[in-house]
Amino acid sequence: MADVLTEVDVQAEIDGFTRRSVQAAAVFTQYDQQRTDAIVRAVYEAGFDQRIPLAKLAHEETGLGKWEDKVIKNVVATQFIYNDIKDEKTVGVIGEDHERGIVEIAQPMGPVLGVIPSTNPTSTTLFKILICMKTRNPIIISPSPKARKCCGETSRICYAAALAAGAPEDCIQWVEGVSKEITHGLMGNPDIALILATGGSGLVRAAYSSGTPTLGVGAGNVPVYIERSADVDFAVENILLSKTFDNGTICASEQAIVVETALAEPLKEEFQKRGAYLLWPKEVEAVTSVVFDAEKGLMNSKIVGQSAKFIADLAGIDVPENTTLLLAPLNKVEGEPLAHEILAPLIAFYEVADYPQALNLCIELNYQGGIGHTASIYSNDEAKILEFSEGMNAGRIVVNTPSSQGAVGGIYNRLHPSFTLGCGTGGHNITTDNVTATHLLNMQRIARRRDNLPFARFDANLYLDESLGHAEIEKRFGRNM
Amino acid sequence: MMESFVDSEGALRFRFPSEVDTAICDEIHEGISRKVQEHEGAIIFDLVGVQLVTSAFFRICISTMQTVGKERMKVTNLEPRVKKTFMIAQLHKVLDLE
Of B22, B51, B89, the CB nearest to A22: B89
Contacts of A29 in chain B (CB under 8 A): 81, 84-85, 88
Residue A147: the pLDDT is: 96
- Residue B74 DSSP one-character state: E
- Positions of chain B with pLDDT lower than 70, given as ranges: none
Q: What would the pLDDT profile of A121-166 be if each residue is shown by its tens digit?
A: 999 999 999 999 999 999 999 999 999 999 999 999 999 999 999 9
Query: Is residue A171 annotated as a catalytic residue, yes or no?
Result: no
Q: What would the 3-class secondary structure string for chain A be?
A: CCCCCCHHHHHHHHHHHHHHHHHHHHHHCCCCHHHHHHHHHHHHHHHHHCHHHHHHHHHHHHCCCCHHHHHHHHHHHHHHHHHHHCCCCCCEEEEEECCCCEEEEEEECCCEEEEECCCCHHHHHHHHHHHHHHCCCCEEEEECHHHHHHHHHHHHHHHHHHHHCCCCCCCEEECCCCCHHHHHHHHCCCCCCEEEECCCHHHHHHHHHCCCCEECCCCCCEEEEECCCCCHHHHHHHHHHHHCHHHHCCCCCEEEEEEEHHHHHHHHHHHHHCCEEECCHHHHHHHHHHHEECCCCEECHHHCCCCHHHHHHHCCCCCCCCCCEEEEECCCCCCCHHHCCCCCCEEEEEEECCHHHHHHHHHHHHCCCCCEEEEEEECCCHHHHHHHHHHCCEEEEEECCCHHHHHHCCCCCCCCCCCCECCCHHHCCCCCCECCHHHHEEEEEEECCCCCHHHHHCCHHHHHCCCCCHHHHHHHCCCCC
> Residue B19's closest chain A neighbor by CA?
A30
Phi-psi region of A116 (alpha: psi -120 to 50; beta: other; left: phi over 0): beta
Residue A3: the pLDDT is: 55
CB of B92 less than 8 A from some CB of A: no
Judge contact between A75 and A48, C-beta under 8 A. Answer: yes
Residue A4: the pLDDT is: 62
How far away is chain B from the Cα of A316, in angstroms, using its nearest Cα? 59
| CA–CA dist A35, A28 (Å, integer) | 10
| CA–CA dist A276, A269 (Å, integer) | 9
Q: How far is CA A159 from CA A311, A415, A441, B55, B57, in A?
A: 39, 28, 21, 15, 20
CB contact under 8 A, A27 and B51: no
Q: What would the pLDDT profile of A73-127 be if each residue is shown by its tens digit?
A: 999 999 999 999 999 999 999 999 999 999 999 999 999 999 999 999 999 999 9
Judge contact between A257 and A239, C-beta under 8 A. Answer: yes
Q: Residue A89: CB partners within 8 Å, gap ≥ 6?
A: A33, A106
Per-residue pLDDT of chain A (481 residues; tens, 9 = 90+): 445 668 888 999 999 999 999 999 999 999 999 999 999 999 999 999 999 999 999 999 999 999 999 999 999 999 999 999 999 999 999 999 999 999 999 999 999 999 999 999 999 999 999 999 999 999 999 999 999 999 999 999 999 999 999 999 999 999 998 688 999 999 999 999 999 999 888 899 999 999 999 999 988 999 999 999 999 999 999 999 999 999 999 999 999 999 999 999 999 999 999 999 999 999 999 999 999 988 887 889 999 999 999 999 999 999 999 999 999 999 999 999 999 999 999 999 999 999 999 999 999 999 988 999 999 999 999 999 999 999 999 999 999 999 999 999 999 999 999 999 999 999 999 999 999 999 999 999 999 999 999 999 999 999 999 999 999 999 999 888 8
How far away is chain B from the Cα of A411, in angstroms, using its nearest Cα? 39
CB of B86 less than 8 A from some CB of A: yes
CB of B61 less than 8 A from some CB of A: no
Q: Is B4 helix (H, G, I), strand (E, B) or coil?
A: strand
Q: How far is CA B28 from CA A94, A176, A260, A387, B16, in A?
A: 37, 32, 76, 68, 10
- Disruptive mutation site among B55, B60, B63 for chain A (greatest number of A CBs within 10 Å): B55
CB of A164 less than 8 A from some CB of B: no
Contacts of B56 in chain A (CB under 8 A): 169
- Of the residues A132, A150, A251, A423, only one is catalytic, namely A251
Residue A1: the pLDDT is: 44
CB contact under 8 A, A30 and B21: no
Residue A257 forms beta bridges with which residues? Answer: A224, A349
Q: pTM to 2 decimals?
A: 0.94
